[in-house]
């Protein structure tokens, strides 16, 4: 068995709509590394797209899952409940910066967003949803509608559910500041939807797929004030930013204001499908019994994994580790740029271990460097992903448990690949 033969079988058996970011097929993985079926070793700076924050094959997570599977793996929580769902809800309620919270568990990130909007609509008895350009919220019909990027997510899949609107997300170096975003929101209220018809405003505290841009505190404060004034539900989508990734257990903790609802998934269960919505008690309790749920929502196996993930975050101080790893990578790119000003990279940024830089030529986004750079890194054993509205950003999502010597090895690979672009 080799990568090519599996790719041939994949192409024959699986539709091309599921992309392949790499031509690799994995045999085994450990912490921040995986080995393909040809026994080539790779450093994994994609972390399953921000999922294995606690590392591949984390021993505590695997043990918790194994113990749970030996007891039972599924009953459907709405048929016969189990304690670890309740315990996880209690812990998430305590972690989230929301006073008096309740939590419902689902399976995927998109499902969490779908349900957050359902809850907000039920509570407000309104339908409008406002999201942001460049935001990514999933691939179901509603979440595709909320996603603020056409190719490849929305192309050919319309029409989308109506009553969804988008405004610019502040990215100051692209000429969009908080004041401009808020002006566009006020304009939207005048031209397209009255604030009294808006159920929810939804945004990522740090845009993920959109380019690793952190929302300014001032934006969050203004949105909070507007939502309070007009009775709108404010939703922070923490599917990518959650569980230590930004240097806090939840990125919402970076802000001086509280959201009404928080959606979580990905790193919550360290690789097992589990998501959730944490929110204010009166909002969460609005839908009647049976209005929310799903066969696999809050799987006991996922809950067991998530409780172990929360313990690992705490006992290994992974929030601090995220900041340390992010700062080191940021510093390495800054030094490289300083020593080699002709390198076509700019806008190096990080929020914890969400680290990114852009390829820029003559002040303009340059996506053409992205595929050769990613390929060069992969040929030396480092997995990276692109992101951003212009496709010119490289994002780094190392497991937070990554060892220092692996970080240095990755830096060396990227340094050589960047210098070879000159």
Residues forming contacts to ligand PLP in the complex (CB under 6 A) are 49, 108-110, 113, 136-138, 204, 208-209, 237, 239-240, 265
Return the closest-CA partner of residue 407 out of 346, 340, 355: 355
Nearest residue (CB) to ligand PLP, 137 versus 248: 137
8 A C-beta contact, residue 396 and residue 373: no
Instruction: Give just the sign of the alpha carbon dihedral 342, 346, 351, 353.
Output: negative
By beta-carbon distance, which residue lies closest to ligand PLP?
Answer: 109
Q: Which is nearer to ligand PLP, 107 or 401 (CB)?
A: 107
Q: How far is the CB of 416 from ligand PLP (least distance, A)?
A: 30
Smallest separation, CB 19 to ligand PLP (Å): 13
Q: How far apart are CA 94 and CA 103, in angstroms?
A: 10
Nearer to ligand PLP, 207 or 413 (CB): 207
Q: To the nearest whole angstrom, how small is the minimum distance from the Cβ of residue 275 to ligand PLP?
A: 7
Q: Which two tokens stand for residue 116?
A: 């957050």
The pair of structure tokens assigned to 240 is 């990518």
Q: Tell the smallest beta-carbon distance from residue 221 to ligand PLP (Å).
A: 21
Report d(CA 145, CA 136) in Å as an integer: 10
Secondary structure letter of residue 196 according to DSSP:
G
Among 50, 38, 31, 78, residue whose Cα is nearest residue 294? 78
Min separation Cβ 418 and ligand PLP, Å: 26
What is d(CA 93, CA 88) in angstroms, rounded to the nearest whole number? 8
Residues 6 or more apart from 160 whose CB is under 8 A from it? Answer: 141, 144, 145, 154
For ligand PLP, give the closer residue by CB, 322 or 332.
322
Name the pairing type of β-strands 261-264 and 233-237: parallel
CB contact at 8 A, 71 and 237:
no
* Residues in a beta bridge with 41: 35
| Least distance from ligand PLP to the Cβ atom of residue 237, Å | 5
Max CA separation in the chain (angstroms): 63
Q: Which C-beta is closer to ligand PLP: that of 208 or that of 365?
A: 208
- The least CB distance from residue 186 to ligand PLP, in Å, is 25
Least Å distance, CB 265 to ligand PLP, is: 5
Q: What is the secondary structure of 43-97 as a DSSP string?
A: EESSHHHHT-TT-BT-HHHHHHHHHHHHH-S---TTTS--HHHHHHHHHHHHHSS
Q: How far is the CB of 321 from ligand PLP (least distance, A)?
A: 21
Peptide bond into 159 cis (omega under 30): yes
Which is nearer to ligand PLP, 134 or 300 (by Cβ)?
134
Q: At what angle do helices 178-191 and 217-230 cross, to 10 degrees?
A: 20
Residue 325 or 397 having the CB closest to ligand PLP = 397
State in angstroms the smallest separation of the CB of 389 from ligand PLP.
Answer: 14
Q: Find the shortest distance in angstroms from Cβ 422 to ligand PLP.
A: 33
Q: Closer to ligand PLP at the Cβ: 31 or 263?
A: 263
E strands of 183-228, at which residues?
198-203, 206-207, 213-214
Nearer to ligand PLP, 181 or 332 (CB): 181
* CB-nearer residue toward ligand PLP: 21 or 419: 21
The CA-CA-CA angle for residues 358, 250, 218, to 5°, reads 65
Q: Name the helix (H) or strand (E) containing 104.
A: strand 101-106
Nearer to ligand PLP, 223 or 418 (CB): 223
């Amino acid at each position: 068995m080799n990568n090519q033969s599996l790719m041939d079988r994949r192409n024959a058996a699986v539709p091309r709509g599921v992309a392949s970011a790499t031509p690799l097929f994995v045999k085994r993985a450990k912490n921040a590394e995986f080995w393909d079926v040809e026994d080539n070793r790779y450093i994994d700076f994609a972390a399953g797209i921000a999922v294995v924050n606690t590392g591949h094959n984390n021993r505590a997570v695997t043990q918790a899952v194994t113990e749970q599977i030996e007891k039972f793996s599924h009953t459907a929580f709405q048929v016969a409940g189990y304690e670890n769902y309740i315990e996880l809800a209690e812990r998430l309620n305590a972690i989230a910066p929301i006073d008096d919270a309740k939590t419902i568990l689902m399976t995927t990130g998109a499902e969490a967003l779908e349900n957050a909007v359902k809850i907000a609509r039920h509570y407000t008895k309104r339908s409008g949803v406002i999201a942001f350009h460049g935001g990514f919220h999933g691939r179901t019909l509603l979440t595709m509608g909320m996603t603020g990027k056409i190719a490849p997510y929305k192309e050919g899949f319309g029409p989308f559910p109506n009553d969804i609107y988008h405004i610019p997300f502040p990215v100051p170096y692209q000429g969009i500041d908080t004041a401009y975003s808020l002006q566009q929101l006020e304009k939207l209220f005048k031209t397209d939807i009255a604030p009294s018809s808006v159920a929810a405003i939804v945004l990522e505290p740090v845009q993920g797929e959109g380019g690793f841009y952190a929302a300014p505190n001032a934006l969050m404060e203004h949105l909070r004030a507007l939502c309070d004034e007009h009775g709108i539900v404010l939703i922070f989508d923490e599917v990518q930013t959650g569980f230590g990734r930004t240097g806090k257990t939840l990125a919402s903790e970076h802000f001086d204001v509280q959201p009404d609802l928080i959606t979580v998934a990905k790193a919550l269960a360290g690789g097992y499908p589990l998501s959730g919505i944490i929110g204010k008690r009166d909002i969460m309790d609005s839908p009647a019994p049976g209005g929310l749920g799903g066969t696999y929502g809050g799987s006991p196996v996922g809950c067991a994994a998530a409780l172990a993930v929360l313990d690992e975050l705490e006992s290994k101080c992974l929030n601090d580790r995220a900041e340390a790893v992010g700062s080191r990578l940021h510093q390495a790119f800054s030094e490289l740029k300083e020593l080699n000003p002709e390198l076509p990279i700019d806008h190096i940024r990080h929020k914890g271990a969400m680290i990114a830089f852009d390829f820029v030529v003559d002040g303009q986004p340059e996506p053409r460097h992205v595929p050769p750079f990613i390929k060069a890194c992969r040929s030396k054993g480092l997995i990276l992903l692109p992101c951003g509205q212009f496709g010119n950003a490289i994002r780094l999502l190392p497991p937070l448990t990554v060892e220092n010597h692996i970080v240095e090895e990755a830096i060396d690979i990227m340094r050589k690949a960047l210098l070879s672009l000159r």
